[in-house]
A and B are shown apart, each in its own frame.
Chain A
Amino acid sequence: MSRKQLLAQKRQEFIEERGIICMNNVSMNYPEAGAPAIDDITLRIDPGEFVFIVGDSGSGKSTMIRLLLRELLPTSGDVCVMGYNTRKLRHSQIPAFRRNIGVVFQDFRLLKDRNVYENVAFAQRIIEVPSREMRRNVPSILAMVGLAGKYRSNVKKLSGGEQQRVALARALVNKPEILLADEPTGNLDPNNAWEIMDLLEEINEQGTTVVVVTHNPEIVNAMKKRVVTMKRGLIVNDEEEGTYVNED
């Protein structure tokens, strides 16, 4: 067995034992901020799960996403994603690490000067996928999110729902192990929100672990998934087929 295969096997064992995402007594204090944004959280998510993270604004949901992306390092505790301890990743390893995580944001974050195709192809160019494969992969993922006919459109001219689908296609085209979505429906009307959610569910059914931060009680309550509720940096509730109790 080669060293690479051995490492892959060890990683697989680690994931089975500790989860694809694990946070152990994680705290995050932003410099010059008063209270911690994340306060001694412990959380485990297994491969193939679909998890909602809900909670008031300012409760630390986005901070959790940023910790999982290794955009931030926790002040204390360890964050493990796909068997990697984010604290132990060298700066040069971060890009390869992120290529296995797809991410979508409320504000889409598309390259606004490029068309739909280029925004999705961009993710493939980064991992140097051969052109021929890229020309196969990009249209097929665009078809999956329902944008087959619009691959030449300028993203600025698309509706919010369409833009989010482009972002989703970009996040998925490299077949990530995990999909993180930070309020993906926050800027969308209910119809579009539901379409995005249906796509997320479909992706999850194909085996990708999906973590969705959301503010939308109707969707959370209707979908009957695991719900992790946060409040002031703490996890106050975590239940299978949970509901979103909006306290506002």
Chain B
Amino acid sequence: MKIRSLFYTLGQGFRNLFKNGWYSLASIATIGACLFLFCIFYSVVGNLRYILNNVEKGVSVQVFFNYDVSEERVQEIGKEIRNRVEVSKVIYHSDEEIWETFGPVWAGEDYDEVYMENPLVGEHNFEVYLNDVSLQSSLVTWLESMNEVRKVNYSEITANTLSGVNLIIAYISIGIIVILLAVSIFLINNTVRVGISVRTEEINIMKYVGATDFFVRAPFVLEGMIIGALGAALPLALTYNLYDYVLGYISGRFSVLAELLTFLPLDSVFSVLMPVCLIVGIGIGFLGSFITVHKHLRV
């Protein structure tokens, strides 16, 4: 293709956009609406997961040992726990550390003098954090099966609730994405079909005069891609402007939960939304126009 044809094609692409103003607007609105739903959905789910993740990180299991188990054996078991894949972090609390923490509470500032020796010998323990709370019960079973272990402290309800909520979010995510895809394909298919009726004649004329498929298709495809890009830019701009405002509002309304409600920063949400929206938008615009024009190129 020669340079002047390229310019002509570019010009025609933009021209089509304005010429079919209402059609273009409808298409932009359609793609924009679908992508906006996706943006909202992604922000909500992303933040829910983020919050849950934070909560999960705080869920731990405490392991205590029989009093006759040697210090070396306890450290060995500690190493074994660390080596398990579901374990993210293990903190050892020694007898001394515990006494330093609880001594002042029980016996006042001079706790060291009231008790000749540490009364909490043998209370040393491991505080175990998990990658994934749903694996807590298998870890607990394993720990309890050890002869050296006296007691395992954990909260079953917290873990079960968290992993249940995670599962529900996953299912809802899949469901909503499927619905969004179906709706957007339906809507876009309809807008393209309305738009093409105007163009059939034009395409026919071009073909009669001897235009190549490429020459006929290029302006339409370009137009589709511009529509897709604008359709993506709109929801991105909305999300960008509304995100902090909405999160601020939520924090304000639920200030009781302030500690729990830590949100994803706009940047990290946008680093996903921006490329996804642009690729999906431009991709839909490209494919939609390419396929539709293709059907009419058989003349």
Name A's B-contacting residues (CB within 8 A): 69, 71, 91-92, 95-99, 101, 103, 109-111, 113, 122-123, 125-128, 130-131, 170, 174
Assembly CA distance A113 to B19 (angstroms): 8
Are A126 and B208 also in contact (CB < 8 A) when A71-B299, A109-B201, A113-B19 are? no
Q: Which residues of B contact A123 (CB under 8 A)?
A: 209-210
Question: Is B208 within 8 A of A98, CB to CB?
Answer: yes
Q: Which residues of A contact B19 (CB under 8 A)?
A: 113
User: How many whole Å from A56's CB to the nearest CB in chain B?
Assistant: 25
Q: Which residues of B contact A128 (CB under 8 A)?
A: 2, 4-5
Size range of the chain B interface in the assembly = 10 to 19
User: How many whole Å from B295's CB to the nearest CB in chain A?
Assistant: 14
Question: Is B205 within 8 A of A95, CB to CB?
Answer: no
A-B contact pairs, 19 of them (CB 8 A): A71-B299, A95-B207, A95-B211, A97-B210, A98-B207, A98-B209, A101-B210, A103-B208, A109-B201, A109-B205, A109-B208, A110-B205, A111-B205, A126-B210, A126-B211, A126-B215, A131-B4, A170-B209, A174-B210
Question: Is A95 within 8 A of B5, CB to CB?
Answer: no
User: How many whole Å from A90's CB to the nearest CB in chain B?
Assistant: 12
Report if B67 contacts A (CB, 8 A).
no
Assembly CA distance A122 to B219 (angstroms): 14
Are A127 and B201 also in contact (CB < 8 A) when A71-B299, A113-B19 are? no
Q: Which residues of A contact B8 (CB under 8 A)?
A: 125
Q: Specify the chain B residue showing the minimal Cβ separation from A123.
A: B209
Are A127 and B5 also in contact (CB < 8 A) when A109-B204, A111-B202 are? no
Q: Which residues of B contact A92 (CB under 8 A)?
A: 212-213
User: How many whole Å from A82's CB to the nearest CB in chain B?
Assistant: 13
Of B5, B208, B211, chain A has the most CB atoms within 10 Å of the CB of B208
User: How many whole Å from B208's CB to the nearest CB in chain A?
Assistant: 6
Contact with A along B199-238 (1 / 0, CB 8 A): 0011011111111110100000000000000000000000
Q: Which residues of A contact B5 (CB under 8 A)?
A: 125, 128
Q: Which residues of B contact A113 (CB under 8 A)?
A: 19
Contact with A along B180-208 (1 / 0, CB 8 A): 00000000000000000000011011111
Q: Which residues of B contact A110 (CB under 8 A)?
A: 205
Q: Which residues of B contact A99 (CB under 8 A)?
A: 209-210
Question: Is A126 within 8 A of B206, CB to CB?
Answer: yes
Q: Which residues of A contact B208 (CB under 8 A)?
A: 69, 98, 103, 109
Question: Which residues of B (1-48) have their CB < 8 Å from a CB of A?
Answer: 2, 4-5, 8, 19
Assembly CA distance A126 to B215 (angstroms): 7
Q: Which of A91, A98, A131 is within 8 Å of B210, CB to CB?
A: A98
Assembly CA distance A126 to B212 (angstroms): 8
Assembly CA distance A91 to B299 (angstroms): 10
Assembly CA distance A96 to B210 (angstroms): 6
Assembly CA distance A174 to B209 (angstroms): 10
Q: Specify the chain B residue showing the minimal Cβ separation from A105.
A: B208
Q: Which residues of A contact B213 (CB under 8 A)?
A: 91-92, 95
The 8 closest A-B pairs by CB, nearest first: A99-B210, A98-B210, A95-B212, A126-B211, A95-B210, A123-B209, A128-B2, A109-B205
Q: Which residues of A contact B201 (CB under 8 A)?
A: 109
Are A122 and B209 also in contact (CB < 8 A) when A109-B201, A109-B204 are? yes
Q: Which residues of A contact B205 (CB under 8 A)?
A: 109-111
Assembly CA distance A3 to B209 (angstroms): 27
User: How many whole Å from B205's CB to the nearest CB in chain A?
Assistant: 5
Assembly CA distance A98 to B210 (angstroms): 5
User: How many whole Å from A183's CB to the nearest CB in chain B?
Assistant: 15
Q: Which residues of A contact B206 (CB under 8 A)?
A: 122, 126
Assembly CA distance A107 to B201 (angstroms): 12
Assembly CA distance A71 to B204 (angstroms): 10
Assembly CA distance A101 to B208 (angstroms): 9
Given contacts A69-B208, A125-B8, 4 further A-B contacts (CB under 8 A): A95-B207, A98-B208, A98-B209, A128-B5
Q: Which residues of B contact A131 (CB under 8 A)?
A: 4
Of A97, A127, A130, chain B has the most CB atoms within 10 Å of the CB of A127
